[in-house]
Amino acid sequence: MKKCSLILCEKKMSQKSKKSLSSAEIIFKPMFEILKTSVCKAGINDIFFLFEKEERTENLRNFILQNKASDIFIAEGTSPFISKETIEKSYENFLKNSRKITAVVSDFCNSFSAVWMTVEDLKKYCSFEKKEEILLEYIVKNSDVINEFTSYNDDDFLNAENLCDVQKFSEYKRKKILEKLMLSGVEIPCADGVVVSEDAEIASDVIIHPSTIIMGGNKISEGAEIGPFVRIRPGCVIGKNVRVGNFVELKNATVCADTKISHLSYVGDSFVGENVNIGCGCATVNFDGRNKNKTVISDGAFIGCGVNLVAPVKVGEDAFVAAGSTVTEDVPGNSLCIARSRQVNKAEWVTDKKPYKRMKK
């Protein structure tokens, strides 16, 4: 029998908000996307997200018609932690009980989080001509015969009623991710402000300092030291023994082994080779207003403080870029690049011009 899923996302963040509460993020992912991942892993790929009541008029009706001979899994988009295993096992229970409406119920409290039913049964409880909300509670309470599948996973029953709940869920998830990392050998001396995506791949013997944010499916190799106050956006690969220090931001960048980006720098859309030093206050200028352009910094290069690398540009192997330079052309290997105006000192200019408020004209 074909399977499909209906994820209910009509609940708003607040009475004044136009946004769906299920779109609120938990560690960089909207809640409905977290639930979608579990649903897909359970082998259900035909999913309808009900965000607005108006969708029932056309889109939802078409979805029901296309799946009229299907079994349907219904859950709220504000219950992000329903697991793949719970979805699979509750479906097995649903089949064993002759496809009677099956509610996923808790073993410790009078609560349920999801329902399995046939699409034909769903039609009995929902008039798709009207604009009433589809409520799990209504379906369960008004079913003549209800089958129960008991879940012993407490996370299946975490359902957000407001943004305060979302914040609590985020903190709960953040701690679980960090605990898993630390048990795998990642050193986090102080977890204050450390937020790591569940999709990130972080090797053992990596050190992560406070106020570090690691997003997306980034890869960080053993021996790397990250933070404090670092933001690593999606698309980054960080090699062995790399040092990414205070107030550094990386985005879509590959940084190879033994390179140091110690403080106050931005490296985006870049390839940085091995044993490179990037000084304080540097930036890869990757956006020209239309396109993102790439910067390549070859092995052994030294980038002085306050340097702008205006992409697309390449710095050659073992090249040296002087502090304060704005580089707009490729730098050959083993060469010194100086891209700044000559300093001019005008003697007694302050005495003559008296530019400060404290000086009398």
Q: How many residues does the structure list for the chain?
A: 361
Is 263 an annotated catalytic residue? yes
The span from the CA of 264 to the CA of 275, in Å, is 19
Q: Are strands 336-337 and 326-327 parallel, antiparallel or unpaired?
A: unpaired
For helices 31-41 and 84-96, what crossing angle results, to 10°?
50
Tell the residue number behind the tokens 């479906």, with chain if given: 91
**What one-character-per-residue DSSP string does 205-228 give?**
T-EE-SS-EE-TT-EE-TT-EE-S
Asked if 6 contacts 134 with a C-beta cutoff of 8 angstroms, the reply is: yes
The alpha carbon torsion through 61, 63, 67, 72 (nearest 10 deg) reads -100
Q: Which of 3, 243, 251, 263 is catalytic?
A: 263
10 Å CB burial of residue 322 (0-12, 13-18, 19+) is: middle
Residues involved in catalysis: 263
